[in-house]
Structure formats: C-alpha cells, structure tokens
Amino acid sequence: MKSKENEKDLMIRKQELSLPASAALPPMLAERMALYPENKRRPVNKTVFNNQYFQLTYNTRNHSMAISSKGDLVYSAIPYDTARNYIQRAAIQYLLHPEEIRRYIELHQTTLEKYLTLSIFQVTGNRVEENSFEVKQAYNAILQNPLLEIQIAGRLMQHDETGPLSANLAGKFLFSENVKTGIAGYISEYLNFVVQLAHSLPLMIDGKDVQLLEAAGQEQQLLEQGLTIHSDIDSALSLLPQEVKKGLENALVATDSASLVNTQPLLRSEYGEELSKVRDNYVAHSVHPDEAEKYFRNVHSTENRNLVNVVSDIHSKDGKLPFLNRHFNILTGDVSDSRVHDEEIEGIYLIGGHELVDVLPETTDQTDEQWEKWRPFFHYAWFKELLQEPDEAWYLLPTGNHPFYEVVEAELAARFPKMNVLNNKSLIHEDVRYIGLTIPVALVKRKKAQQQFILKALEKLLGENTEIPTVIVSHAPLFNELSLLPETSEAYNKDYICEEPKIEKLFEQYNIIGAIHGHHHIPASSRRFKNAEFAGKRLFVVCSIYSKVNTGFELMSLLQN
C-alpha cells in the first residue's frame, strides 16, 4: 500500500482536484450547480453535491473541486488529530481492497503491540508486556471492528510516513476509548457520501484527491486508484457493520442529496461545550518522533527499483542512505544530517539547505587545515550565522551563483563519487536533459535577485537546443507556479510568484516538460505530482519526500507521457 503535509488540522477537510487554469466549467458540473439556490450568492465555492454532513464544492478561481465536511460534524474529539486524510484514504482502500488493509495491519503487528502497550498504560497506569493477554485482546479487538480497523490502517500510514505517533494513543488504538472520539461515526458518514457521490457523478475518489473522469475509458484506468461507479465494493459490504452496510446500500441507489445516518456521529451542536472542555484540559502525552523512532522497526522493503527515482529531504541521521536503488536517482537536497556517503548510488544530486552545514568540518578549531577551503567565507554574516544558528541563516544565504556552493559541490562529489552534483549545471540521461539549479531555500524577500539568478542560469544552460525534453530540478521550488505546496499550507507565501517575464519566455521557447523540487516536506499521501499551467503550456511538477513507505517516485511515468 502506498500512502504530512503538516496541516495541524487547520480545518482543512479538502481533497483537491487540479484542473487546467484555463479549463471551462464542465457541463455536468454546471448542471449540478444550478440545483442549489445558494450558489447565486457564492462567487467562488459553488456547491456541486451534498448531503446532511458533507459537500462537494467547485472553486471558480482555481478550477478545483473539494470534499469538505459541514461545520456540525466533528471528525475527532482528540485535539490536534492530524490523521484525517490518512484515515479517509484507508476508508476508500477498505471499500476497494479490505483484504489488503488487513494484510497491512498484520504486517505492522509488532508496531501495533507497542502502541497498544503504551495506550493501556495511558488509561490504567499499569505497565504490561507487549506479549501480554491485555495487548493481545486489544489487538484482536481491532480486527473485529471494521471501522476501527480502517482507523488503525490510517494511523499506520501516518506512522510510516511521518514517524511514530505519541499523543493520545489510547483514543487512537483502544476500542474502549476510541468509541468516545466520534471517528467511527465520521467514517460511516464519509463512506456514505463518497459512495453516493461516485454513483452520481463520473469521479474517482481516493480519500485525498477527487478526479473528474472526462476521457472515455478513463474509469477503467483509475479503477484501482480510487472509488468510481465501476468499483466492486461487495467484499467490504459483507464485512462492515449492518447499520453501515445498510446506509451504503441506500447510497448506491440514491441519486441526489439525502440524510443517511448509520452510526451516531459527533456533532458540535450537541457536544460543543464538552469538546471545548476537552481541548482546554488537553494533555498531549507526547514525545518527539525522533525519540520514539528507535522503538519501532521498519517493516517495509528498503529496495527501490524505479528506473528514474525522485526522492528528497531524507535527513539521514545514521551516516547512510536508508534505501537502495541501483538505477538513476534524482536526490533533490536535504539528504544528509550525518555526513552520509555512498559510493554506489548513481544519478544527480541537488544542493539543499542542510547540505551547507553537513559538509562543514567536524572540528570547531578553525585554525585546523580542514577549514582552509572555507576561510574565504569567514567574513560573511550569513556564514557566521550558518555556523552558530543554521535555522536563522537560511534566508540570509547568497543566491545560487556564489563560490561557496562550488566548495559544497566538491565536498558532496567526494562523498557520492557516482552522482553528478548539479550546482547550476546540466546532464543528459536517456535523451532527457536535467538542469539543476542551486536554490537551497525560497528567498521570498529577495525574490527579484533570486529570479534574476534563475533567468541567467537558464539562459546559459538551455543553450541552442530548443527541442530536447528538459526538466528543471532544484531543492526549493522555483516559484509558486511550479510548486506542489498548496495554498492552505502555513509555509505557503502568495508573494513567491514568478515576476520575471523573460523566464516565462524561456519556458515557451524551449521544450521544458516539468519541474522537480523538495524542501516543503509534502507527504506522499498529499500527492507527489501534479500537472500545472505555466507559460502557456502544461508541465508536470514533482515533489517526492522520503518516508518508510515512499523511497522515491518513478519519474518514467511522466517522462513517457
């Protein structure tokens, strides 16, 4: 199974569908919108379909659709519960492949037993062993309750992608405590809505994204990815509780808005005061994921067989790469926080922010000969800050044509002898040209200087060959238009847009087919690529952040389109 963006539960209940910026409103959506009078006073987010608890809306500005729960329905009584998208994805996968969800959970049994041991301690204060009767009983309870099984699968996806969980484990993993959270009711109503929606409009829904099926035969192509009208959910129906099964069967024959209540959902109108008290008195019981990591073993394969493998932001802390790929890799920065070296990995390497510290000498004695190559930069304020407080130095860094990056490049090349460090350089692999630009961070306040650097570097590296397929690679995205970071993210800055028209002209003139970046730690579950409109053409944008369930993205799937 494949699966942070760290949304911090910003009331974001959206699953986005990107349409071309110039796309006209599909007639089937226009017809649906006409059924809802409230759309006359809504200039942007138009209702397309709804029921008592959920709605599908269409954003007329960015031509996107989103599923959102209505204000009265509570997803979880657990404060700061960030697993909504993971659990929704697990719910869709349970409808499609319940047996795979069960196998996924069984694969993680040792991980679950650790969580259950800690959960029991949080509730009772008693320390039990992982092989105790209490833990085995709690584990079996998960397998006997499909709505809890869906939740656990989602939590494990989050664990694999973002690191160990630590807060309010009892409510997340123990059936006796989970029934108080309202999540089961939320899942039930969510399943009702998406089944009804998929049978009313030609859509593919995967728990995070919603895709409009416009091309003939596209339903069959996307059948395995998410829920469509052609999905066979009979196996899941036979396993779900009777009240949920009945609601889904009703949804299958429904053709318009309906009120389908199966399990008791948690509603703010009824429990608002109690929820406020819970949040006011909340004790997280949290430890940092880095501290908890050592107690969990990775149950996934570290081998990756992608032919052109894109991955970034590994932040390795044990001196080695955590995955194996013997084909062509594109490492888009922030790979190492522990002086990683690998003599066998091949491909291209982009300089990220963390490399700038990782390549510096271990000794603090700056009279040592190891510091000789760095001495020309000692007088720079940004370099002094980099040595003392790196987190404060990122936005002081010089633009990517500075001699400092040449020294960084040489250090990385020595550690990765079969990699090509693309410090404002290009490389052709399998008839595709990759241009690597050194953009360690997004310099929003110095956007003009940054974009002047991008322009000059591209003018030099693109050269005279306008026909060869070209991919632009950088650690931080070039600008918002070619970034996978959504506007709903706290890290998003609306000012980081392309304001240099000559860059757009270059994209028009040359056969630039896509852009790759890292930096923003966008999880695989949020999506790893999109198609974007820029300079009058359709380009792919890829961001593939490392996690245990994501050791890279296969770029060949986009290069061959």
pLDDT tens column, 156-192: 999 999 889 988 899 999 999 999 999 999 999 999 9
Please give the distance of CA 476 from its chain centroid, rounded to a whole number. 16
Q: How far apart are CA 216 and CA 480, in angstroms?
A: 32
Strand partners, 311: 331
pLDDT band with cut points at 50, 70 and 90 for residue 394: very high
pLDDT at residue 274, rounded to an integer: 81
- The type of residue at 359 is V
Cβ-based neighbours of 470, under 8 Å, separated by 6 or more? 432, 433, 434, 435, 462, 510, 511, 512, 513
DSSP string, 217-244: THHHHTTTTSB-TT---HHHHHHS-HHH
Q: How far apart are CA 538 and CA 531, in angstroms?
A: 6
Q: In this predicted structure, what is the pLDDT of residue 170?
A: 93
- Write the CB contacts of 31 (distance below 8 Å, at least 6 apart in sequence): none
pLDDT of residue 23: 52
How high is the pLDDT of residue 290? 74
What pLDDT is recorded for position 128? Answer: 95
Q: Do residues 474 and 332 make contact, with C-beta atoms less than 8 angstroms apart?
A: yes
Q: The tokens 């949290």 sit on which residue?
A: 286
Kindly give, in sequence order, each residue whose CB lies less than 8 Å from that of residue 91, ignoring residues fewer than 6 positions away. Answer: 150, 154, 187, 190, 191, 207
Q: How far apart are CA 85 and CA 68, in angstroms?
A: 11
- Residue ranges of domains in the chain: 73-299, 308-559
Task: Say what the pLDDT of residue 258 is.
Answer: 36
Alpha carbons within 13 A on the beta-carbon side of 493: 14
Compute and round to an integer the Cα radius of gyration of the chain. 25
pLDDT of residue 386: 95
Burial label, 119 (beta-carbon count in 10 A; 0-12, 13-18, 19+): buried
Determine the Cα–Cα distance for residues 214 and 406; give it in Å rounded to an integer.
48
* CB-neighbour burial class of residue 512 (10 A; exposed 0-12, middle 13-18, buried 19+): buried
Residue 402 or 29, more confident: 402
pLDDT score for 208: 82
Strands 470-474 and 432-437: parallel
- Give percent of the chain with pLDDT exceeding 90: 70
Phi, psi of 331 (to 5 degrees): -100, 110
State the pLDDT at residue 233: 93
Helix axis angle for 109-124 and 98-107, nearest 10°, is 70
DSSP string of 390-411? HHHHGGGPPPTTSHHHHHHHHH
Which residues lie across from 515 on neighbouring strands? Answer: 472, 541
Ranges of beta strands (E only) in 398-536 are 419-421, 425-429, 432-437, 470-474, 512-516, 529-534
pLDDT tens readout for residues 35-82: 999 999 998 999 999 999 999 998 888 778 889 998 899 999 998 899
- Quick one: pLDDT band at residue 344, thresholds 50, 70, 90? very high
The SS3 of residue 312 is strand
Give residue 20's identity as a one-letter amino acid code. P
- CA end-to-end span of the chain, whole Å? 24
Residue range 308-559, CATH number: 3.60.21
CA distance 20 to 526: 19
Q: Is the pLDDT score of 117 beyond 50? A: yes
Residue 504, amino acid? E
Which residue did the predictor score with more confidence, 62 or 347?
Answer: 347
Find the mean pLDDT for residues 478-490: 93
Average pLDDT over every residue of 278-294: 73
Cα–Cα distance for residue pair 470/95, rounded to 1 Å? 40
In angstroms, the CA 409 to CA 420 distance is: 9
Phi, psi of 189 (to 5 degrees): -70, -35
Name all contacts of 123-127 with Cβ < 8 Å and 24+ positions apart: 123/170, 123/174, 123/176, 123/177
- What does the pLDDT average to over 371-388? 96
